[in-house]
Amino acid sequence: MSQPLLSIIIATKNRSKYCFESVKSILLALGANCELAIQDNSDTNELEQLLDNIADPRIKYNYTNSALSFVANFNQAMENSTGKFFCILGDDDSITPDILNIVEWMDHNHIESVCSANNVEYIWPNDKIERYKDGELNIPPYSGTKKRLDLLDSLHKLIVLDGTLNYQSYCLPRTYHGIVKRSVFDLVKHKTGHYFGGLTPDIYSTIALTCITKEHYVIDYPFTIAGACPASASVANMTGGHSGRLDDAPHFRNRGDYVWEAEIPKYYSVETIWAETALKALREMGENTLASRINLYKFLTYGIYANRKYIFRLTLSETMNLYKVLNMNQVAFYGKLYISIAYVVGAGLLKKGFKKLTSKRSPIFSKKRINDLNQAIYEVNQYLLSNKITFKDE
């Protein structure tokens, strides 16, 4: 059998009912010259039994019953896939039929990586959150245009100016909800010994790929749907489920001995896990100088602010004691931190006020009572058709 043009890759654990619905919707939109590679590390092989009822030759399923870390499960998923290009999805996500047109355009034009400027978001029906009890679909405005990105300049700004914060807004290469040429990602494995490292696969692969990718485009057009089922990380984050003591972070399960990057304070939050993994990726890719130039004080300031609702005392304590870990002068450390806090708070207030005066953003199209992923895909296609938005592949 010839190499598939595209692999859709899912790494899943103990969410078989959601994953099965995702698989069914993906297969409806996936081309014949593609594969759907599923790596399952659940406690049982319930998903395998469900998939047997489909019997689609495009499905490539692997079950590992021994407990794997989050990162190891993604590495195994990558190893099980064979496509010339790949796109990794969560087990509650889906794709649009246009994804194959985009991959063919990439292949014809020797493009190594593509990401969408904005993602379509589908919140599954959730009885625990009143707003989403019947499901909700959110579609940002699209133009169908594309642009090539200067990756080295963007990476420098992300680290030196923003201290890894809001990395997704930079639209860098991404394995998760992006499309990447496999041969480029193979270079990451050759250099580091693995495809994914650190504690979270998405930002590790983004930073690592940005270090070596030459041809990356941002397209203002959707090709995936980011789902949020009731058991998803996105929903947990809405209720403070992604913060606490570092020892409580699920990322360390089955991870073995792990060396935490010293610059990052030891508390569990989205910000600290992302920043730690970003530094890990830079250093494993040989970018030690850039890693040393991280805007640490901006990161520390935002970490305290972003987690003030649930773990304020913990974030403040760990941050204020960081000077000991870094062997820094206490007065100098506190001085720089207080200056950063004053600057970030002041600049934030000014920016917020300026946005109120000048903002003319196009509204997000939102629709409620979306029962499942298939309906979400249909609504996305209807939205694009009614607004005459197409992907310009010239």
Instruction: Report the C-alpha gap between 290 and 283 in whole angstroms.
Output: 9
Confidence class for position 203, pLDDT limits 50, 70, 90: very high
Note if the pTM is more than 0.85.
yes
**41, two tokens:** 């590390």
CB 103 within 8 A of CB 9: no
- Helices 201-212, 182-192: axis angle to 10 degrees equals 100
Q: CA-CA distances (angstroms) from residue 371 to 25, 73, 166, 232, 316?
A: 13, 29, 31, 17, 42
C-alpha 234/C-alpha 228 separation (Å) is 6
Residue among 217, 2, 267, 225 nearest 111 (CA): 217
Reported as a pLDDT band with limits 50, 70 and 90, residue 352 is: low
pLDDT tens digits, one per residue of 159-180: 999 999 999 999 999 999 999 9
User: Pick from 97, 78, 117, 317: which is nearest to 217 by CA?
Assistant: 117
Minimum mean pLDDT range among 162-171, 329-338, 359-368: 359-368
User: What confidence tens digit (pLDDT) does each residue in 296-306 have?
Assistant: 999 999 999 89
Length, in residues, of the chain: 394
Average of per-residue pLDDT values in the chain? 92
Q: Tell me, what DSSP letter sits at residue 159? A: I
- Return the residue matching tokens 């940002």: 140
pLDDT tens digits along 107-148: 999 999 999 999 999 999 998 888 899 999 999 999 999 999
Q: Distances from the Cα of 335 to the Cαs of 267, 292, 338, 343, in angstroms? A: 22, 20, 5, 12
Position 386 scores a pLDDT of 96
